[in-house]
Amino acid sequence: MMSESLSQQTCVACRKDAPRITEQEIAELHPQIPDWKIVERDGIQRLERVFTCQNFSAALDLTNRIGAIAEAEGHHPALLTEWGRVTVTWWTHKIRGLHRNDFIMAAKTDAIYGQ
């Protein structure tokens, strides 16, 4: 499983009793998405990254492309679209914290941005 990059993996359906990701798993996965910060808001750990774009139109296009993969994977981020930037925040609502899915989706978001 480790040979497969995060962006190639698929989200698994997450239940309310699914465990949050461990510190050891974070240490293993975070280097694969180095541009993402782990932030805590309302006592919930989240992955967050600000993507820069040339203008509002480009930011909106990026937002829509991220929305399309979110919908396809059934896992949805908070998206803040502004002139020249999109702030993307991933966390798993059901478990009020981070799950491997969030790291997978962060990697997929990086891949979309790189296209």
Please provide the average confidence, as pLDDT, over all residues in the chain: 92
pLDDT at 111: 95
What residue ranges define each of the domains in the chain, with the CATH number in brackets?
A: 20-114 (3.30.1360.20)
Tokens of 39: 């932030």
Task: Extract the runs of DSSP E, i.e. beta strands, from 14-70.
Answer: 37-41, 44-52
pTM metric for this prediction: 0.91
Chain segment 69-113, per-residue pLDDT in tens: 999 999 999 999 999 999 999 999 999 999 999 999 999 999 999
Q: Which residues contact 95 (CB under 8 A, 6 or more apart)?
A: 14, 16, 18, 19, 20
- Residues 14-41, mean pLDDT to the nearest whole number: 91
What gap in Å lies between CA 14 and CA 71, rounded to an integer?
A: 15
What is the residue whose two structure tokens read 């919908």? 71
